[in-house]
Amino acid sequence: MLKYQQIASDIERYIEENALQQGDKLPVLEALMARFEVSKSTITKSLDLLEKKGVVYQVRGSGIFVRRHKRKGYISLLSNQGFKKDLEGFQITSKIIEFDVRKPTQEAADNLNISQEEDVYYVKRVRYINGQTLCLEESYYSKSIITFLNKEIVSESIFDYIREGLGLNVGFSDIYLQAGRLNEEEAGYLGLEKGFPKFYVETLFHLTNGQPFDFSKVTYNFEQSQFFIQANGPL
Amino acid sequence: MLKYQQIASDIERYIEENALQQGDKLPVLEALMARFEVSKSTITKSLDLLEKKGVVYQVRGSGIFVRRHKRKGYISLLSNQGFKKDLEGFQITSKIIEFDVRKPTQEAADNLNISQEEDVYYVKRVRYINGQTLCLEESYYSKSIITFLNKEIVSESIFDYIREGLGLNVGFSDIYLQAGRLNEEEAGYLGLEKGFPKFYVETLFHLTNGQPFDFSKVTYNFEQSQFFIQANGPL
């Protein structure tokens, strides 16, 4: 973690611990520089990072203010941290339904930019929140990039392993969303009835070098899932 | 529009006109500087803006590449531009159902951070895509900030008016999403049946100074709406 990232996370913890509310003003730049014993350019980078993350907003000529939303239990659509961070205080578990190496579907191959002859790791799992079904997830990992996975990794955080175990840099992602109706199989895994509403999300994850490595399709139990996005201003 | 924003939009048009695809490499920094006759710091700012917008991705030591997704007709959840830009080639129209000054609901007042004694502009409209219902929208505009609206403005782009007519700076927003079932009223306006799935979005828009000014609740016809988010890497 670089210095400015460390300071950013310290400021985030300070906001948390002091239970600061939306609109509360942070100390001025000079005070932050003195408190953390860093240069102006470092503190500026920390604050820019926090602004991107939706933790603060900066008003020119006026100061830096805390940004918080009031709703609990919403899943962030922009975090690649997995649910664990958003749903702190909730118990999240997984059950693996299928896990193997196989040839991708046409759809997965197209998204991953590979041929249908190449291998992928396929993972299908149901995730639970406080013992109730949260979602059914199917993921296709390009095996030429994600060279190794096993059941143990798949039952924990796959992304932690990709970053730390494989040393890969996870970059941008394309996320597609829509509402629909549960088919029979989805309904079965989620313990709901066929035809019930679903919140459906497809994500194509890329490395920082632009290579797509994971195409995932997630069907949420609409009764257990709410989502949020902290968007920055118009660009 | 500032210089770097102008250059960014020129580069975006260049990508568009040359039908560049995901992964295509842009000219090197020096070539872009020469082409647009600007300094390195300006071109760097332009590229950072385009990266935030999801138009390019930068690979350290390797270059700047085009970022595009392949799906047409998806509505961007992060653009405050309204639908018009995402759905180019589709015909988008609106019908105003209700428009007046009133006292907010408790929910709207809480979100807008005002008391229930203060006035809001209330707008309820149905939007259509190629003649089919796209969504039912209810919005509450804080009248102390959005001091004037009329039917003409409301039937066009309200946000264009807020920026250009009122000279206000639209900043960050909090977006909440979930799937659910249409109630009778929603189904009626959307021409669907009660109990059908819905894609439901609440947004709280703020000025750049942090003041919330618009709380909107939008119920989408799930058969006509698909959404996308171009997310940047983990922060």
> The complex's ipTM?
0.89
Confidence at residue A230, expressed as pLDDT on a 0 to 100 scale? 85
Confidence at residue B101, expressed as pLDDT on a 0 to 100 scale? 98
Comma-separated ranges of CATH 3.40.1410.10 domains in chain B: 75-228
Chain A residue with the nearest C-alpha to that of B110: A70
Confidence at residue A60, expressed as pLDDT on a 0 to 100 scale? 84
Residue A85 pLDDT grade (very low, low, confident, very high; cuts 50, 70, 90): low
Provide, as residue numbers in chain B, all residues whose Cβ is less than 8 Å from the Cβ of A78. Answer: 229, 231
- C-beta atoms of B179 and A81 within 8 A: no
Chain A residue with the nearest C-alpha to that of B8: A235
- Between A and B, how many residue pairs show a Cβ–Cβ distance under 8 A? 159
Nearest-CA distance B130 → chain A (Å): 19
Cβ neighbour number for residue B125 with a 10 Å cutoff: 19
Per the DSSP assignment, residues forming a β-bridge with B81 are: none
* Site from A190, A205, A229 to mutate, B interface, most B CB atoms within 10 angstroms: A229
Helix axes B29-36, B40-52, angle to 10 degrees: 110
Provide, as residue numbers in chain A, all residues whose Cβ is less than 8 Å from the Cβ of B208. Answer: 57, 59-60, 233
Residue A88 pLDDT grade (very low, low, confident, very high; cuts 50, 70, 90): low
How far apart (Å, rounded) are the C-alpha atoms in residues B139 and B125?
9
CATH class in words for B75-228: alpha beta
- C-beta atoms of A59 and B208 within 8 A: yes
Please determine, for residue A80, whether its predicted confidence score (pLDDT) is greater than 80. Answer: no
Q: A136-176, pLDDT tens digit by residue?
A: 999 999 999 999 999 999 988 888 899 999 999 999 999 99
Q: B110-164, pLDDT tens digit by residue?
A: 999 999 999 999 999 999 988 899 999 999 999 999 999 999 999 888 888 999 9
Average pLDDT rounded to a whole number, residues B24-28: 92
- C-beta atoms of A234 and B81 within 8 A: yes
Mean pLDDT (chain A) is: 91
Residue B212 tokens, joined: 């919330």
Q: In sequence order, which ranges of A25-183 are alpha helices (DSSP H)?
A: 29-36, 40-52, 83-86, 106-112, 151-155, 158-160
- C-beta atoms of A227 and B173 within 8 A: no
Confidence at residue B146, expressed as pLDDT on a 0 to 100 scale? 97
Confidence at residue B125, expressed as pLDDT on a 0 to 100 scale? 95
Chain B residue with the nearest C-alpha to that of A182: B197
- The answer to whether domain A3-66 has CATH 1.10.10.10 is yes
Q: CB-hemisphere CA count at 13 Å for A131?
A: 0
Which residue type occupies B121?
Y
Nearest-CA distance A106 → chain B (Å): 15
Give the residue, B99 or B81, on which the prediction is more confident. Answer: B99
How far apart (Å, rounded) are the C-alpha atoms in residues A35 and A5?
16
Taking alpha carbons only, the member of B177, B157, B133 closest to residue B83 is B157
Largest CA distance in chain A: 60
Which residue type occupies B90?
F
- Whether the Cβ atoms of residue A134 and residue A128 lie closer than 8 Å to each other: yes
Cβ neighbour number for residue A181 with a 10 Å cutoff: 16
- C-beta atoms of A210 and B174 within 8 A: no
Q: B41-95, pLDDT tens digit by residue?
A: 999 999 988 988 889 998 988 899 999 877 888 888 886 555 555 666 778 888 9
Please determine, for residue A120, whether its predicted confidence score (pLDDT) is greater than 90. Answer: yes
Which helix (H) or strand (E) element contains residue A21?
none
Q: Provide the 8-state DSSP code for A161.
A: I
How far apart (Å, rounded) are the C-alpha atoms in residues A18 and B205?
26
Confidence at residue B88, expressed as pLDDT on a 0 to 100 scale? 67
Confidence at residue A145, expressed as pLDDT on a 0 to 100 scale? 97
If DSSP codes are grouped into helix, strand and coil, which group holds residue A168? coil
Comma-separated ranges of CATH 1.10.10.10 domains in chain B: 3-66
Confidence at residue B230, expressed as pLDDT on a 0 to 100 scale? 85
Angle at B219 (CA atoms; ends B189, B209), nearest 5 degrees: 130
Residue B22 tokens, joined: 């995901």
Please determine, for residue B165, whether its predicted confidence score (pLDDT) is greater than 80. Answer: yes
- What are the residues whose beta carbons fall under 8 Å from the beta carbon of B188, sequence distance 6 or more? none
Provide, as residue numbers in chain A, all residues whose Cβ is less than 8 Å from the Cβ of B222. Answer: 178-180, 197
Confidence at residue B80, expressed as pLDDT on a 0 to 100 scale? 55
Confidence at residue B148, expressed as pLDDT on a 0 to 100 scale? 95
